[in-house]
Amino acid sequence: GPEYWDGLGGNGGVPKPKFIRLKALSGVFKNLLIVNAPVHCFSVSGSNNLVISGVTVDNRGPKQSLGHNTDAFDVSSTQVTITGCTVYNQDDCLAVNNGSGIKFLSNSCDGGHGISIGSVKAGGKVTDVKVSDCSISNSDNGARIKVYNDATNALVDNITYQNIALSNIAKQGIVIRQDYRNGGPTGTPGTGGPITNVVMNNIHGTVAKNAQPVFILCGNCSGFNFSAIAITGGKASSCTGISPKPEGC
């Protein structure tokens, strides 16, 4: 892994192989230790009724700061459950880019970009996702939903994060944005990928002094239901483009 890490990930530099591809599979994949994946670790696509459990992804060690795009689980599938896993990486712990019926249960994430829906691009649809009983530590973000600002014919609907423990989050504890762009957000949210029916329940813990507990930037969002939001530290939250403003804003 470290021999591939050049700070560019999948955006350039030396070619980097995705480590494990699970394509059009069902069944159980369990009890595996992966050390220093070159780039995306698990790429799960076109699968149905798949369970991944007891997996550890460990990207700690020399040159770890140069690891980039080292997502632990990239999912574009239906009815996938990921449970009892431990991740140390430099990017998303989970990234659901397309699909439905995804469950991410009792997992631990350290050092990356958080547990993410997206990034959702044009034509992407992510529905019926449940993230429960997870911890996120020493990461840029906690619970995260991101849609490209120029997405069209896209949808994020019926997303639940519950019982999430945060520790030392550098940017945002909860972040929902429709201005995403690879290389940096635009600051102007799009409207072609609505985010609807989002539940955040019992999201608690700490963010760093320059972070925000909650950040929302929406152009087309509705049906947000937040409860028991107890995120301490950092600066004031910012919530734009959603009415009524949910708890924590």
**Secondary structure of residue 10 in the 3-state scheme:** helix
3-state helix, strand, coil split of the chain in percent (to 5) is 0, 60, 40
Residue with tokens 């529905």: 127
CB of 22 within 8 A of CB of 42?
yes
**Which residues make beta-bridge pairs with 198?**
159, 224
204 classed as catalytic: no
Q: Which of 68, 74, 110, 113 is catalytic?
A: 113
Find the DSSP H helices in the chain: none
In whole angstroms, give the CA distance from residue 249 to residue 235.
12
Least Cα distance to 151 among 176, 129, 196, 118 occurs for 118
**Secondary structure of residue 241 in the 3-state scheme:** coil
91 classed as catalytic: yes
End-to-end CA distance of the chain: 40
Q: Which of 68, 71, 74, 91 is catalytic?
A: 91
Q: Which residues are catalytic?
A: 91, 113
